[in-house]
Amino acid sequence: MAEIHKIIASLKDALGVGARSNSQAEAASAPVPVAQSAHRAALASTFARELEAVGGKFLGILTPAEVTNRIVTLAGEIGAKTVALGQGVESDMEEIGEALERADFRIVRTIPVADTERAAMRERVANADMGIAEADFAIASTGTLAVVSTGDRPSSLTLLPPASLVIVQIDRVMANLAAVLAELGAGGVAANRLTLITGPSRTADIEKRIVLGVHGPKSIHVIVVWPRDD
């Protein structure tokens, strides 16, 4: 690795090392103020407004039982035949999967795969009409979902199928991006493949006109989960 030393040496020369201070770094690190006290429901409603502003659809704040029913209804509404889903963050995705099966939808379950099975599994996820995932966090100010990818809940679920459904727990709706990054922490970000998703895939490359569904999903539906059935 001779190249790195050459470049670092030329950088040191260029920088004239020694005459630099850290004062600017400290000034820059003051975080964006976080609205800690803001009520969850208010955050969820801001999230809903911003999500719709970027072309997403908000399906409401629902209890876990309602979530399952709403997903089965949605799968019917969009004319899905096959639905792909993986593990949740806090929610029981197996319950949702079983309910979909009872309603005669075909289910693709993403489980950890050996390298030899990857291509086949990916093909099945890509051919599903809808992918279901649970986000680790939501960002109210921008209508964004923060989704960590792991072996049993891969990033493909929110990328390959033409329709995307994402659920998120209400106490995981944060005020802004800085709050979510702080919540995940440097360690959390270092360890995981993370994607921030703000609305459906889109482009404005032809005469700056917005078209949805370029490489990713054309539609994204979001349900905020109210944790208790009372």
Minimum CB distance to other proteins, residue 164 (Å): 11
Q: Rule CB under 8 A: say whether 121 interacts with other proteins.
A: yes
- Smallest separation (angstroms) from other proteins to the CB of 111: 8
Which residues fall within 8 angstroms of residue 74, CB to CB, at 6 or more apart? 59, 130, 165, 221
By beta-carbon proximity to other proteins, the closer residue of 90 and 183 is 183
- Using CB under 8 A, which residues numbered 79 to 108 contact other proteins? none
Q: Under rule CB under 8 A, which residues in 200-219 are in contact with other proteins?
A: 200-209, 211, 213-216
Task: Confirm or reject binding of residue 6 to other proteins (CB under 8 A).
Answer: yes
Q: Are the beta carbons of 147 and 179 closer than 8 angstroms?
A: no
In the window 49-78, what residues touch other proteins (CB under 8 A)? 50, 54
Q: Is 118 in the site for other proteins (CB under 8 A)?
A: yes
Q: Are 166 and 187 in contact (CB under 8 A)?
A: no
Rounded least distance, CB 91 to other proteins, Å: 20
Span 122-181, contacts to other proteins by CB under 8 A: 122-123, 125-126, 139, 141-144, 149-152, 154-156, 159, 176-178, 181
Cβ closest to other proteins, residue 67 vs residue 220? 220
Euclidean distance between CA atoms 88 and 94, whole angstroms: 9
Phi, psi for 173 (deg, rounded to 5): -90, 115
- Could you tell me how many residues of this chain bind other proteins (CB under 8 A)? 82
